[in-house]
A and B are shown apart, each in its own frame.
Chain A
Amino acid sequence: MIEARGVSVRYEDGRLALNYVTFTVTRGEAYCLLGPRGAGKTTLHNVFLGLVTPVTGKTLINGVDCAAERISALRNLAILSEKPAVYEYISCRANLELLARLSGGPVPSSQELVSAIREVGLPDRILGSSAKVLSPVWKQKLLLAAALVRKAQSLFLDDPTESLDASAAKELIQELRKLKARGVAVMLTTHDPLVARELGDRIGLLDRGLITRELDPASINANAFQE
């Protein structure tokens, strides 16, 4: 479960980056915050990750306070950012092993790695190759495989389709849906209403750090954001 309780963040110049943001995402649910650039989407992720300290409120993952017990709170969390951030100079296997070990887990077996890779629709052969040769969508899928290996129960998506073309974005969304169906709580932030509609179970409109209203995904069309 992912929770934000009255989270406010101020920039150094005093402006509010997040204004009393509150929401809850339960297991198997995808909550989407839809907003333009500068609305505070990435800042919200960073608050959960302990990379930004809020002035008020708290963030919890599976009931664990992210500020007070950062390490255990993040143990079951996986993230996908707009830029597929994998380590390009090491192999895909090394990437998966490293992320598993950093989150405090044991070194995954080859079988676990192969199974995770297959599950996200990647060919086995990429395990031995350098992550540098992967396309952006495959890099994102590799990170999803890492989430599977780590048995992550929460998934943070920060504009994950930003660097992908339409078909690749669609491919990724399908994989994300599968992950959600496995009971993973998903928090998605995006500026793309279509992605929000495709993946979100609930959608909050984020504007200048404030969730102005909640929408039903079915009510969103391509022009919803402009409205």
Chain B
Amino acid sequence: MVRALAAKELREAVRSVRFLAVVLVSLTLVPASVFVNTRAYEHRLQYHEELTRLSRAQSEAAGLRADMAAEAFRGPSVPGILFGGAEPALPSRIRTSRDGLFTVYSENRPADLSSGSGSSTDLAFLTGLVLSLLAFVFVHGSITREKEEGSLRLLLSTGAPRGAVLAGKILGNFTAFVAPVAIGVGIGMAVMVSSPAVRAQLAGQVPLLFALFALVLVLLFLLLLVGLFISMFANRSGVAIVLLLFVWVLLVPGLPLLAPIVAEIAFPAKPYQVVEMEKRLIRTSASTQFREAVDSLYDVIMQRHEVDMDTLEVFVPQRLTGKAREAHLEYERKIATLEAADQAYVHDMWGTLDSTRESAVRSQRRLASFITGLSPVGIFWTLSATLAGTGADEWDRILAFARDFQGQVTEELYGKWLVRPYGRNRVITMPAAGNYPPAVDRSRLHAVLPPAPMAGRVRAGLPDMLLLAVMTLLAGTGCWLKFRSYDAR
């Protein structure tokens, strides 16, 4: 019975204009967006490989400098072709510096990390924004049109169980809606896999791509249920479509776009770039004070020892003798204390800035995630980006990696050299300990961030998966209860 009803719904649906719209979007926009994003991926991968090669060559070449910058990279991700999320805003290059401040570089303009909607026209965008609207339009008349035309009465007068009628409607509409989407995504996948660059990176990603496609199906199923449920409150399909459009505006552009704004108002946080700038200002101001302190220290010590090192042509600390050596040793002792105090001050100030921002950002994310979580599309965007490794949590992972890399380069390179002002006109660079030049493992001066482990991504996405499952269950139950209690009065 359910099959017969589903077949009827299917036959009705495929002859409608709304089906034509789904076919057009699925068979043109989806493959076209995949094509464009695949080409973009190829270019980004080429850029990434070239930069990585150059950086490696540079760090392995002779002539290491104590203040040279080391670079680490993050390559583009294959699932990002379909589910770009925040990919355009995610850093692809990290550059360390001797003063402890690393810099991150993104390829594109920043996207909105909190909503996860990203900024590129990819499958996530098309599903969330276009197919979601079509899903509502698709089912808006499934029950109301039958009410208007009187065929619902005919249907229910046959004695068919209401559960079977509802199941047939859901199954028929879902099949009609999803078939062109599946074909469109299939063509898109074929376009994607036809790229040698994608094929080379595809190992281990296939199950993830299927899981992400399953997520698209779950969202579409949920939206069809929500659409059906809301349309049941109307007796005319015109009213149903107005109701559904209102709900769509609320759920799709509304909540996900509103979430970061509300979160920003509730928990203001300085942008990452501003905090970095403030850190630089702190560094510069502390350096100026340090330099002034060092200069006066230098003057006092040199006067006391009656030495004028500025007149020395060549300054090699190890070769100093007599008063000059005593002055040098005293200067070294005291400057080490000053340096430690300077570093402690700077790191303390940076730590305060970082923790203040991170705490506000954490609160922002929690609130934004709560608001976004009220919308199935918002959850879908966040979850698909998390699973694809292009979500807001990827930003945290990159920053953690950047800090580790900065630490690694400090340990391997910067920490092995002392760079000291020596008088007003001289800065000397010498090994912190041991022989000149210090031994440096050059392979530690470049790195590539590996993709996030799949288990971690799944773990991070688990709450959203559960939320989506609960919403589907609720929408299904709502449909059933509403349809079961249908009263023609």
Contact = CB atoms under 8 A, between A and B. Distances in A.
A83 interface: yes
Interface in A10-49: 11-12, 17, 43, 46, 49
Interface in B57-102: none
Interface string B151-183: 101111111110000000000000000000000
Interface stretch (A67-75, A115-123, A169-177, A192-200): A67-75
A168 interface: no
A79 B153 contact: yes
B204 interface: no
A51 B487 CA distance: 5
B12 A79 contact: no
Contacts of B207: none
Interface string B1-27: 100110010011001100000000000
Interface stretch (A90-98, A203-211, A213-221): A90-98
B149 A85 contact: yes
Contact of B160 (A12, A79, A103, A156): A103
Given A70-B159, A74-B158, A102-B4, A17 B489 contact: yes
A71 to B, nearest CB: 5
Nearest to A83: B150
Q: Which of A11, A12, A51 has the most CB of B within 10 A?
A: A51
Range for the number of chain A residues in contact with chain B: 35 or more
A77 B157 CA distance: 7
A129 to B, nearest CB: 14
A49 B153 contact: yes
A83 B16 CA distance: 22
A54 to B, nearest CB: 11
A83 B149 contact: yes
Contacts of A81: 150, 153-154
Given A50-B156, A81-B154, A102-B159, A90 B488 contact: no
Contacts of A52: 487-489
A43 B150 CA distance: 14
Contacts of A182: none
A89 B11 contact: yes
Nearest to B489: A52
A51 B160 contact: no
24 contacts: A46-B153, A49-B157, A50-B156, A51-B153, A51-B486, A52-B488, A71-B159, A71-B160, A74-B157, A74-B159, A75-B159, A77-B159, A79-B157, A83-B149, A90-B11, A90-B12, A98-B5, A102-B1, A102-B5, A102-B155, A102-B158, A102-B159, A103-B158, A104-B1
